[in-house]
């Protein structure tokens, strides 16, 4: 026996005998029967903020689409032979091919034996080698630092510097994330503070990507809607920002302004002037800026160009670049990559208070780290093959092909939809969606409301049942009262997209006739 504080030693077999002697006094035979009655966790006793969460992109319409697919596969007769999912920006599911180089490197990182395989190009091997060297034990199976692998964050910083014409970027301001959603929710979480009229309010565009409304509902924040101007290609008006902010100040504490550029679901690409104005507005009104820039390579329209908030901020001079707090988000899921399943992403934070940053770093450490394959993929996106490297030509060929096809489909979608009486579609300048406005006849609106459905949900559900096309009703993204829309991705292969658009056209005509 050693020092007095030592606990008694005990063998495995001893502890097998149970949970401690006294405790067993109401053991097997004496146990009272378990209480009956309602469950511990019921709809009435669960987290009320979770109940308020809505996420239309995977909502009831998609559940019905899954059912229909099952029914089809079971041989049930339908007026269509397949369900076409145009509800979600899931490029590979719609047939887009991955970039060969990216997948070669991921295979090499997964199974490093392949580094001896002479059929893999040397640049893929050297990228894989560099990534593995940054992993504990040279394995993607190790946890990374919670903020992300150092070398990946360095590559992200260099990418941002190139993208933004040399504006400097500190790898220490980069946090790798589990897709962009993870970073956005984390930043919103940091901003939550106050109760009642002092509760954090967050400005989001309407229409919006419903991750924002869902996260704000779950966090118990106040959602402040500012409306994009559909009549001017979904542009962002500062007067509308001001209106929304002034009204919100009466009942909450507006602290952040979220922008999605290029826009989801609306597909607009913001001009440089607009971004400057937004930054000035944020500075004047002391709002934390959140720039969702996951579609930064998805710009199709002539005369449109992607401008990052970071670049514009820094070009506005130190008066702004030293003060305005900004978080911007990127992802491996969109652009020409479309690698949604890997859940890769990063955020860059600018002008964040050092103490808050330490809290952010602590907060992300609880979840250990973002998935390492997603980090590796993010690294390849920001550090793709360079001129002179063996994979360069093929990489450029694949990337260009994907982006040109998307540009073609953006145009096709706009054109066909605008031929339909009662459908009106702004140009799809960027991103991967169109968000056309639809006329729903009064009789259909009444029937929908009778059924307790939003009129555009009624419309989309009917379209799904009759054509197999799965779209998301505009009400899931928000829209001006009395207007109706749907979101449709431009991702199906061109021939299928053409069929889909024709079916939408036919359906709309039939629907309008039926309810007129």
Binders of its own copies among residues 62 to 81 (CB under 8 A) are: 66
**Cβ pair 234, 426 in contact under 8 A:** yes
Q: What's the gap between Cα 359 and its chain centre? A: 24
Stretch that binds its own copies, among 167-175, 176-184, 379-387, 455-463 (CB under 8 A): 176-184
108-117 LR contacts (CB < 8 Å, sep 24+): 109/140, 109/373, 109/376, 110/140, 110/373, 112/138
Please compute, for residue 17, the number of CA atoms within 13 A of its CA located in the half-sphere on the CB side. Answer: 9
Binding mask 20-59 for its own copies (x = CB under 8 A): x-xxx-xxx--xxxxxxx-xxxxx-xxxxxxx-xxx-xxx
For 138, left (φ over 0), alpha (ψ -120 to 50), or beta? Answer: left
* CB-nearer residue toward its own copies: 219 or 499: 219
Structure letter (DSSP) for residue 269: -
Stretch that binds its own copies, among 7-15, 165-173, 385-393, 442-450 (CB under 8 A): 7-15
Which of 262, 263, 338, 385 is in the footprint of its own copies by CB under 8 A?
338
* CB-nearer residue toward its own copies: 66 or 449: 66
The continuous run of DSSP H or E covering 109 comes out as helix 100-110
Query: Cβ of residue 163: shortest distance to its own copies, in angstroms?
Result: 20
Q: Does 398 bind its own copies (CB under 8 A)?
A: no
Stretch that binds its own copies, among 143-151, 154-162, 164-172, 469-477 (CB under 8 A): 143-151
Which of 74, 319, 450, 481 is in the footprint of its own copies by CB under 8 A?
319
**Cβ pair 345, 119 in contact under 8 A:** no
Query: Cβ of residue 359: shortest distance to its own copies, in angstroms?
Result: 6
**Cβ pair 413, 501 in contact under 8 A:** yes
* CB-nearer residue toward its own copies: 73 or 79: 73
3-state secondary structure of 307: coil
**Cβ pair 464, 457 in contact under 8 A:** no
**Cβ pair 155, 161 in contact under 8 A:** no
Q: Edge to edge, what strands does the sheet with 486-489 contain? A: 433-434, 486-489, 472-473
* CB-nearer residue toward its own copies: 439 or 453: 439
Residue 435: which of 30, 6, 89 has the closest Cα? 89
For the chain, the straight-line distance linking the first and the last C-alpha, in angstroms and rounded, comes to: 92
Number of residues that bind its own copies (CB under 8 A): 166
Which of 225, 271, 453, 509 is in the footprint of its own copies by CB under 8 A?
271
Q: Which of residues 451-480 bind its own copies (CB under 8 A)?
A: none
Q: Does 442 bind its own copies (CB under 8 A)?
A: no
Query: Tokens 């093959």 — which residue?
Result: 385
CA angle 239, 432, 92 (to 5 degrees): 150
Which of 137, 196, 388, 452 is in the footprint of its own copies by CB under 8 A?
137
Q: Does 353 bind its own copies (CB under 8 A)?
A: yes
Stretch that binds its own copies, among 74-82, 166-174, 267-275, 467-475 (CB under 8 A): 267-275
Query: Cβ of residue 145: shortest distance to its own copies, in angstroms?
Result: 8
Helix, strand, coil share (%) of the chain residues, nearest 5: 50, 15, 40
Which of 74, 355, 450, 481 is in the footprint of its own copies by CB under 8 A?
355
Q: Which of residues 117-136 bind its own copies (CB under 8 A)?
A: 117, 135-136
Stretch that binds its own copies, among 258-266, 269-277, 457-465, 500-508 (CB under 8 A): 269-277
For 325, left (φ over 0), alpha (ψ -120 to 50), or beta? Answer: beta
Q: Does 18 bind its own copies (CB under 8 A)?
A: yes
* CB-nearer residue toward its own copies: 233 or 412: 233
Asked, as a colleague might, if the bond just before 207 is cis with ω within 30 of 0, I would say yes
Q: Does 181 bind its own copies (CB under 8 A)?
A: yes
Which of 64, 167, 199, 237 is in the footprint of its own copies by CB under 8 A?
237
Which of 123, 173, 293, 339 is in the footprint of its own copies by CB under 8 A?
339
Query: Cβ of residue 134: shortest distance to its own copies, in angstroms?
Result: 11
Q: Does 481 bind its own copies (CB under 8 A)?
A: no
Please compute, for residue 248, the number of CA atoms within 13 A of its CA located in the half-sphere on the CB side. Answer: 26
Query: Cβ of residue 488: shortest distance to its own copies, in angstroms?
Result: 17
Q: Does 515 bind its own copies (CB under 8 A)?
A: no
Stretch that binds its own copies, among 157-165, 355-363, 400-408, 497-505 (CB under 8 A): 355-363
Residue 348: CB partners within 8 Å, gap ≥ 6?
A: 156, 160, 169, 173, 174, 310, 326, 327, 328
Stretch that binds its own copies, among 258-266, 331-339, 399-407, 458-466 (CB under 8 A): 331-339
Stretch that binds its own copies, among 350-358, 395-403, 452-460, 462-470 (CB under 8 A): 350-358
Stretch that binds its own copies, among 160-168, 190-198, 443-451, 465-473 (CB under 8 A): 190-198
What would the 3-class secondary structure string for 38-52 be? CCCCCCCCCCHHHHH
Residue 56: CB partners within 8 Å, gap ≥ 6?
A: 210, 472, 473, 475, 476, 477
Angstrom distance (rounded) from CA 217 to CA 446: 29
Q: Which of residues 292-311 bind its own copies (CB under 8 A)?
A: 301-304
Q: Does 197 bind its own copies (CB under 8 A)?
A: no
Q: Does 431 bind its own copies (CB under 8 A)?
A: no
Q: Does 246 bind its own copies (CB under 8 A)?
A: no
Pair type for strands 344-350 and 174-178: antiparallel
Angstrom distance (rounded) from CA 319 to CA 291: 20
Query: Cβ of residue 295: shortest distance to its own copies, in angstroms?
Result: 15
């Amino acid at each position: 026996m050693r020092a007095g504080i030592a606990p008694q030693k005990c063998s495995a077999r001893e502890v097998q005998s149970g949970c401690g002697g006294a405790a067993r006094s109401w053991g097997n035979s004496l146990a009272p029967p378990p209480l009956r009655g309602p469950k511990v966790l019921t709809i009435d006793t669960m987290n009320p903020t979770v109940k308020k969460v809505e996420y239309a992109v995977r909502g009831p319409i998609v559940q019905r689409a899954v059912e229909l697919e099952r029914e089809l596969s079971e041989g049930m007769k339908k007026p269509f032979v397949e369900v076409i999912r145009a509800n979600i920006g899931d490029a590979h599911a719609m047939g887009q091919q991955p970039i060969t180089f990216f997948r070669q490197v991921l295979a090499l990182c997964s199974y490093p034996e392949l580094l001896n395989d002479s059929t893999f190009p040397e640049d893929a091997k050297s990228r894989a080698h560099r990534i593995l060297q940054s992993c504990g034990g040279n394995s993607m199976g190790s946890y990374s630092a919670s903020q992300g692998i150092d070398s990946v964050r360095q590559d992200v910083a260099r990418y941002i510097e190139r993208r933004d014409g040399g504006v400097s970027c500190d790898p220490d301001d980069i946090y790798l994330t589990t897709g962009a959603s993870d970073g956005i929710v984390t930043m919103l979480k940091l901003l939550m503070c106050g109760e009642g009229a002092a509760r954090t309010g967050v400005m989001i565009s309407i229409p919006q990507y419903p991750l924002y409304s869902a996260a704000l509902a779950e966090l118990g924040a106040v959602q402040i809607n500012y409306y994009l101007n559909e009549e001017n290609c979904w542009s962002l008006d500062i007067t509308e920002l001001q209106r929304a902010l002034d009204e919100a100040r009466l009942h909450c504490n507006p602290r952040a302004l979220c922008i999605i550029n290029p826009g989801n679901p609306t597909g607009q690409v913001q001009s440089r002037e607009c971004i400057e104005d937004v930054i000035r507005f944020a500075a004047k009104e002391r709002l934390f800026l959140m720039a969702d820039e996951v579609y930064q390579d998805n710009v199709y329209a002539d005369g449109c160009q992607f401008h990052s908030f970071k670049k514009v901020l820094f070009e506005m001079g130190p008066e702004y670049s030293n003060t305005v707090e900004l978080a911007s988000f990127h992802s491996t899921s969109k652009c020409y990559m479309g690698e949604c399943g890997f859940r890769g992403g990063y955020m860059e934070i600018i002008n964040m208070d050092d103490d808050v940053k330490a809290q952010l770093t602590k907060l992300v450490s609880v979840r250990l780290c973002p998935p390492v394959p997603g980090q590796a993929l993010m690294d390849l996106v920001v550090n793709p093959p360079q001129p002179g490297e063996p994979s360069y030509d093929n990489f450029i060929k694949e990337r260009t092909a994907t982006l040109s096809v998307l540009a073609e489909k953006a145009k096709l979608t706009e054109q066909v939809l605008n031929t339909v009486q009662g459908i009106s579609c702004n140009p799809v300048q960027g991103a991967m969606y169109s968000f056309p406005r639809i006329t729903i006849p009064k009789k259909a609106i009444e029937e929908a409301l009778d059924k307790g459905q939003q009129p555009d949900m009624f419309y989309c559900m009917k379209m799904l049942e009759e054509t197999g096309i799965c779209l998301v009703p505009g009400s899931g993204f928000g829209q001006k009262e009395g207007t109706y829309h749907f979101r449709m991705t431009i991702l199906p292969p061109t021939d299928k997209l053409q069929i889909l658009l024709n079916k939408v056209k036919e359906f709309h005509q039939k629907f309008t006739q039926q309810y007129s």
